[in-house]
Amino acid sequence: MDAVQKERWYFMALLLLLSLQGACPGGGGVQNKETVTVHLQEGMLLDCSCPWDGNLTMVSWTKDPDSNSIAVFHPEYGVATTYHYRNRIEFLRTTPMDGSITLRNVTHQDIGVYRCSVQTFPQGTWARIIQVEDLDEPPSEEEDASAALVDADAHLTAEPGGNVTVGCGHGHNGTVLQAVVEHMAPGHPWVIIGICKRVEGGTLSEDYSERGQIGCEDGLDVSLHLTAVAPEDGGLYRCSFSTDAGLRTSTVMVTVPPAGGFSLSLYMKFVYLGTAIAGLVLLTVLLIVLIRTRKKSRTEEVRDKLHPSHTSQPRVSPQRWRRWWARELTCTQVY
């Protein structure tokens, strides 16, 4: 996270410095009125070659509709890109006045209008507008989101402030060349958060996530480990695997309940705890009853042994005893 914050500060400082240098003497701004159309494809070229002679002061790229800067080149300070375009944009610099870039690991999110601004000395600013479109119409966000909600391959519930690991498996026995991990938060478009590639000697990972850490296994099964889960971590995660048998996708829906609200996992913990306590109480009662029963049985056995009326000898009634004694006395008197 510290690296991300430093990169942001560097990018903002560079934009501020270059904006102060932007007013170049000796020329006014000129924009190429013609809009160039480029089809969305891997490694696509966005051409921005300034036809003027002179010295290049700065090249900046923005993307509509927000017109936010995505990349800046300065001859002295180098290249700065926003986080989601890090390691995806490359300035070609084929000529001293060339501000062209190539874009790799493209998705439908890269469709849109790009504006290139080349600041030169002494003539001023030259600009170009480039429209990136796809031959295949991408699905709308609402349709894609609703379909994803129904067809998600797995569902996870993450506790706010806790940790969770989102894993994707391709389930393919062949060769997997690349895996792209995307996240779509509710009400937001798809955003690339990580890429795993197969290279000679192993795998290469490119982590664009600000909220977690991407892990790449040898078989290009990918995982995203989120710490201190926040509401914005919820939504749909999609893993797209480029294999020798074509494109395979795996989706995981992550639900983050509001803090202090109903939590299914917490509820289940209470259920399990209550069941365990009830079982322990029942077992204790059964043991007490068993002990008391055995104790009572032993007490009765001892009582039977010690009390004459409870011995195993046959009991003689008083009447029979008196008749027997009288008969004995009669016999004694006769003799």
91, 135, 87, 95: which is closest to 111 by C-alpha? 135
Fold that domain 2-133 belongs to in CATH: Immunoglobulin-like (2.60.40)
| CB of 203 closer than 8 Å to CB of 218 | yes
pLDDT in tens, 278-322: 989 999 999 898 888 888 877 777 776 666 555 455 555 667 767
Query: Which string of DSSP letters, residue by residue, matches 54-107?
Result: SEEEEEEEEETTTTEEEEEEETTTEEEE-GGGTTTEEE---STTB--EEE-S--
Is 3.40.1280.10 the CATH number for 141-255? Answer: no
Dist CA 321 CA 156 (whole Å)? 89
> Pairing state of beta strands 124-133 and 30-39?
parallel
Q: What is the pTM of this model?
A: 0.42
| 68-122 pLDDT per residue, tens | 889 999 999 899 888 778 888 999 999 999 999 999 888 878 888 999 999 999 9
CATH 2.60.40.10 boundaries in the chain = 2-133, 141-255
